[in-house]
Amino acid sequence: MPIFKYRGYDRGGLETEGVIEADGQRDAAIKIKSKGVFPKEITEAAPHRKIFLLQKNPALTLANITRRLSTLVSSGVPLMEAMSAISSEQKGNWKNILIDIKEKLAAGASLERAMQAHPQIFPDFYTGMIAAGESSGKLADVLLKLSDFLENELNVKNKVRTALVYPTFMAGISVLIVIFLFTFVIPKITKIFEDTSTSLPLITLILIWISTAFKKLWWLLIFMAGGSLILYRKIRETKREIIDSILLKEPLGILMDLYMLRFTMTISFLLSGGLPILRSMRLTAKAIGNKVLEKRIISAENLVSQGAKLSTSLEGFPPTILQIISTGEQTGKLPEVLKKTSESYEGEFDRRLQRAISLLEPALILIMGLIVGFIVVAVLLPIFELNQMMK
């Protein structure tokens, strides 16, 4: 249903504004008047998805809004007033969304139902935790846990991005240097050899062939690179499980640590927020980021629903994780044990990531050294042979 923004005057003659869902402008005007507001201007709001793509970091904004809402609610501010205060600080699409939530709260909807109207903004685990907080009367505590969880997720993503910035930059510069050498520099050098009637070494012929390919068939190389990217995306969409199963066998174990970090962090957070074990498993499966592990968690969920223990239902998970879960089940402190485990995995993930980056940098330098060495040998070898012939 479209969302309309309106400006008008209330019964006291004061100017007011808001957003409302309606089938059209006429329906919107009727609904606005039924609220006791005389509309002066009614415009349809732009679709959320289109504008939301322009946001720099929606996850960070959501974490900040959640923390502010937690602070206001824990201070005793009524939920509608808290939402009104936060919406007044926002701009653009976020302002429209928060005003819409406030309008739904005023109409008698729960915070969970009001947020479920915006699934592209508030994921399932978020609204599930809000529902648990409302039913238990601990909404402020749940909002605080949500903000902490969202910030922890962002920290993990930022660590990966930050660690990959320098190697990606180095790889990009290396590729540009190689393209420049083979396209502009090498052809001028090899032209000297082509003008001679002497036979050239195989390594020099290979160099000339590569240089010619870069210079004359650059369009084909670009087409192949673009085609490879499209093919990878197609395979990832249709054969996601095959790729994810390969990722699980990554030799350094970095990705497995990342998946286990997400698993322990998410399920411990959901369980500590009061969600049932089955729903927590379902939401964790969606958040883990690997289709193979997602299927294993869903399969384990079915076994747990039949009375099995979580520790004996998870297939293909590290034995350490299974033993920790078993201990948590026996002691009745599964959320606390899993939270400590997630902290341990975060530290291990950081160490392995830094170790991999420290290996990647010299590997890039070595590859560039081999390419430069190949060029030098291919250029100098025929020069030495010509020198020998002249003697």
pLDDT given for residue 278 in this prediction: 92
Q: Which amino acid is at 181?
A: L
Full DSSP string of 107-160: TT--HHHHHHT-TTTS-HHHHHHHHHHHHHT-HHHHHHHHHHHHHHHHHHHHHH
pLDDT at 69 over 70: yes
HSE-up (13 A, CA, CB side) for residue 189: 20
Q: Find out whether 365 and 301 touch, Cβ atoms under 8 Å.
A: no
What is the distance between the terminal CA atoms of the chain, rounded to a whole angstrom? 88
* Whether pTM exceeds 0.85: no
Confidence (pLDDT) at 45? 63
Q: What's the mean pLDDT when you consider all of the chain?
A: 84
Q: Which residue has the higher pLDDT, 190 or 59?
A: 59
Q: What percent of the chain has pLDDT over 70?
A: 92
Q: Is the pLDDT of residue 30 over 90?
A: no
Span 350-360, pLDDT tens digits: 888 888 888 88
Strand arrangement, sheet containing 15-21:
15-21, 3-9, 38-44
Residue 384 backbone phi and psi in degrees, to 5: -65, -40
Q: Give phi and psi for 66, each to the nearest 5.
A: -65, -40
> What is the per-residue pLDDT across 47-62, written as a single tens digit (0 to 9) for each?
444 444 445 568 889 9
pLDDT at residue 3 tops 70? no
Give, in degrees to the nearest 5, the angle at Cα 192 between 189 and 198. Answer: 130
Q: Does residue 198 sit in helix, strand or coil?
A: coil
